[in-house]
Amino acid sequence: MHRRSLFADLPPMAALAVPLAIPLAIPLAAPLLLPSPARAQGHGHAHGTGPNGGRLGELGNAHVELVGRDGELRLYLLDAQDRPVPARGAGGTALVQSGGRNQGLRFESGPDDAYLVARGDFVAKGARVVVSVALPGQPSRQARFALD
């Protein structure tokens, strides 16, 4: 069986240029495969401190801010410009890894729907937290945090 070249239908000069361009493109694309803080988060910016002093994370097109205290997590919902969004109708869970233990918590609406709150038995400093939040009319999404 005769196999046809991938470049058989190209004009002669283009048929020569394509195989030569591939080896040149590989070194140029390689840095895009390397991890970076922004790329590890899955988007183009790093996270810092939110308006309530907590850690910022991304949840789809919106942001969330996690404020951790011993035994309590507060999750503030923010829009893309980090302005507060009421937590009415939102719900979720948190998996807290602290002191060598894993603990699952359920978020409830806080006072005046200003934030979601979850309570448990953990030390906030050094804890790793994965939150899963469902906003009204949207699928559940996750964000990961390391508390200082």
Angle 38-44-50 from CA coordinates, rounded to 5°: 75
| 47 has a pLDDT exceeding 80 | no
Mean pLDDT in residue range 113-118: 97
- Distance (Å, rounded) from C-alpha 109 to C-alpha 114? 8
Please name which of 142, 43, 15, 42 lies closest in space to residue 4, comparing C-alpha atoms: 15
| 74 has a pLDDT exceeding 80 | yes
Mean pLDDT in residue range 61-76: 95
Only one residue has tokens 């190209």, namely 10
| 15 has a pLDDT exceeding 90 | no
Domain 45-146, what architecture?
Answer: Sandwich (2.60)
Of the pLDDT bands very low, low, confident and very high (cuts 50, 70, 90), residue 86 is very high
Mean pLDDT in residue range 35-56: 63
Mean pLDDT in residue range 96-107: 97
Of the pLDDT bands very low, low, confident and very high (cuts 50, 70, 90), residue 146 is very high
